[in-house]
Structure 1
Amino acid sequence: MNQEMIVIVEDEPQIAQLLIDYLQASGYQTQHFTNGQGVIEWVKRNAVGCVLLDIMLPEADRFGDGLQLCREIREFSQVPIMMLTARVEEIDRILGLELGADDYLCKPFSPREVVARVKALLRRSRLVQSPTQESSQWHLDEGTYQVHYQQNNVQVSAVEFAILRTLSHSPGRIFSRAQLIDSIYSDHRVVSDRTIDSHIKKLRQKLSTVFGENDWIQSVYGVGYKFVLGSVENS
């Protein structure tokens, strides 16, 4: 039996109950919210495997809609997020993914497909996160903003550390510049793409000076950046 907790934020009772029934039948635990009230606090206090977020939520002006909740969760967690919505326009899909969602499913959908996608997200999350967190050679020191690798360490700035933490906690995942900006600036200030590029250039220089020419942070043309775990473990 799976023990992962799946958070469901869905205001339509029939859809919510269907998701609960199918997920619990597959062995998952579930926590259901009908709107955004209390979601952020609950996710912060509990171990969550995946979050299913409906975009259109009641009382969004008070508690936020799905996109706002997604943005707020990404400020403190890389938990897998799947957006559920009746909106089919491409701009909504792109917006949801750029805010940090990992998957996107339009209504009406098959609950079996939701369960299958949840399983895939959890599987991918376990594969990409645990090697970095458990590596005895690679460690990020939150208290000193130092990067430790193979008995060496390098000091980086707070912003550089935040970028590296975001990228390395999800090896292989491509982060857009907008996602990196959101992950390091909680006040949602306006920051240009060139600023992120400049921070990453400096970060790469610092890492290569101490650890050698490991291409850990790779550019994906026209999209953003990703952290390649294999270059750390195999160097």
Structure 2
Amino acid sequence: MKVAVFGGTGLIGSRVVSLLNAAGHEAVPHAQSTGVDVIEGTGIDEAVAGADVVVNLTNSPTFDEASPAFFRTSMDLLLTAADRAGARHFVVLSIVGVDQVPDLDYYRAKALQEEILAAGPIPYSIVRATQFMEFVAAVLSWTTEGDTVRLPATPIQPIAAADVAGAVAEVAAGAPLNGIRDIAGPEIYPLDELGRITVAHAGDGRTVVTDPTAGMFAAVRGDVLTNPNARLAATRYADWLG
């Protein structure tokens, strides 16, 4: 089976390509570095030629109000080209709870991506993951002032990128879901507690202060970023840190 993986050189995409190729499929990575531009349309037709499955792991360069335009344009171009090429399955990676946080521009944009896919002409699968363990350090940096990190107590269920890639590769190699599969890490933490664990492990001397108004996840209400009923990955945060 031939799989065209857009965003195939990134954190998740490079792993997905490796896993699919190891399983005997022909997975080809596509990105700006390989001459493919999902906004300008450059190289898309060539990338999807002969592909049975298209996996879209590309991401908006910003998390602000410009992000919906990225996903609308890229999805329209990719779906049109994939349909014309005869692809039988289209896969995207999204976020657990993405349709329940309308105050976040980026979440609205990802929800739009899902809507465009579901309304499109190709059988599809959506893999929704919780927050990546690899991104926790960046989340802390957003609200760091001097030696203080301010974080809300928003419940987070972090998952390792390797586990996300495994789930995406499994879905891409299977029959279209024509729906959503949720995946998550095995443990739920308040974000401020997760921050303290991370800072303590790094030994960087910062202090984490609970602030319900701090950062991107302050807009999240309740536990919409977790799903204990999702398919749970094996990697625990403490093991990943180690």
Q: TM-score by structure 1 length?
A: 0.41
Structure number with the bigger relative contact order (C-alpha 8 A, sep ≥ 6) is 2
Higher helix share: 1
Q: TM-score by structure 2 length?
A: 0.40
